[in-house]
Amino acid sequence: MQKKVFSRFTIILFIIGLMTAIQYNTVNEPNSRDTRDVWEIRQELSREKQLHSELLSEIGVLDETLLKYEAASVDSPEQVLQSTVKELKEQAGLTQISGPGIEVQIAPSLEAVAVGQNIEEIPPNLLIRFVNEVNRFKGLSLSIAGNRIVNTTAIRDINGETTVNTEPVGRPPFSIKIIAGTLEEIERVYNFLLASPLLDDFYVENLSVKVTEPERDLEVEAYEEQLNFEYLEAAEGE
């Protein structure tokens, strides 16, 4: 009888120990192993630091605007409001802007012209890729063939024509203007484009790309269409 009880007690202890061991392994072992090397982890850390810096910069701008309102709440609140509206229009691309910039000139390649190949319009997906590559740099202002690029810009094929903001780009040649906040920033964009493999994709489409050297004062056109506020709603005050 005692032997039978002892056997049962041993089995119960074994089951408890097994369950404890399984639970311990489940808690201490991650579901997936991180296989990234040191370089990849450093890149991810660099991106997070850059994002953190951008957020701090945006917070600083908002704090500065709030201090302006508080300082001018008695004397000239209208003037501060007008200044803020002007800044917002500039950020939205609704005003003409000038500053340090470069011009990317798109033209038919010399080889295509020499052999008499028919030069087609630039594919929309190639323009989209170009804009996405350039927008890795923050705070830039762009225009394509005189059409300002804003947050609502659509680059697409409409009835066989490549359009920007529903306006046809037309066959090359045309230019893309890029403006940055400082000369140092536009020089980084300039060097990035010179080394970018994306330029080879233009050559495949029988197009040549010439990136002009940075200028101190380049002008980018304003967005001329009406912005769509269909899906915007006014924020309710607390």
pLDDT in tens, 119-155: 778 889 999 999 999 988 888 999 998 888 888 888 8
Q: Cα(71)–Cα(73) distance, rounded to whole angstroms?
A: 6
Q: Which of 51-55, 110-114, 166-170, 188-192 has the highest mean pLDDT?
A: 188-192
Cβ atoms of residues 227 and 94 within 8 Å: yes
Cβ atoms of residues 198 and 130 within 8 Å: yes
pLDDT of 201 above 60:
yes
Residue 132 tokens read as: 């996405």
Cβ atoms of residues 125 and 231 within 8 Å: no
pLDDT in tens, 11-47: 665 666 666 666 555 545 455 555 666 777 777 787 7
Query: What number of residues does the chain have?
Result: 238
Q: Is residue 150 part of a domain?
A: yes
As for how many domains the chain has, the answer is 1
Q: Is residue 44 part of a domain?
A: no
Domain boundaries, position 198 = 97-220
Beta bridge partners of 220: 97
Residue 225, amino acid: E
Residue 106: name the closest of 93, 117, 120 by CA. 120
For the entire predicted model, the pTM comes to 0.64
The CATH number given to whatever domain includes residue 209 is: 3.30.70.1880
